[in-house]
Structure 1
């Protein structure tokens, strides 16, 4: 039985496209420009971009940048909202012409997301239709429901950290990992 994916919520799609534009215009990284946002109720609270460090020869990843910006913002406001797990993190990667690319987090960014106890879900773009065990396991350990956002052929589908596929129409997830080919994304 073949399911048909329904589109990602329009607010989340709009945020993804906004982040794509931010990454393309603001990131000083030559290849693989990333932008990230902390979201509350599908609204952007703060953003971050991948950029080269001014003090070292390394770069700062968008996830680390946005989490740092968020904590500064909450400290400035004197807010205790960070004690509640109500925020989502979205990460987008694009090339110079604005094509959406894979933005799977590195292990350091997985650890940073784990440490941010206020993060409920992590969205990231990918062109790879399988969920690597190392990230699946990393996110299952701290109970964050990891959603993978697929931008293939302008149709979207998600993968949950449980390994199953969940369609936006609420179809029950599969019990084990599903390999998805392009025809399922139509």
Structure 2
């Protein structure tokens, strides 16, 4: 095998560093020659997150359709480098851009993850640089509870980077979708 920091060649295994989960007798089968990880291996977290993200997006789409929004799908605004999860037209005819940030599992789901919150805020700031941006609304599974996350969210709302942040599971919050 190559030196430290290099990936092993096909068929070679990295040395055991004694970390938990490294012993193949702990229930994980070795990776296949193609580099695929077995179920339950390191990629299972990412696969689970992707599945949960798609499920949350379906819930958001269902809510918006139920509220009377006409869904147009994803939109890439290449002039500012932002991808909108859902461009929709409200029952009153207003164009609204929606970002979906949610999950039902994990220690810090939705906007409780500061990196997720910062990305939503950055996208909102970039969208505000457009000549006539549509309202940018974030639908989330969980809001920041306190601390830096709550302060960042409050500042982003005050600056107009986000038109609103709505918790999908709070009926009082989802009622605010009637604004548009």
Q: Which has the higher strand share?
A: 1
TM category (shorter chain) comes to: 0.3 to 0.5
Q: Give the TM-score normalised by structure 2.
A: 0.38
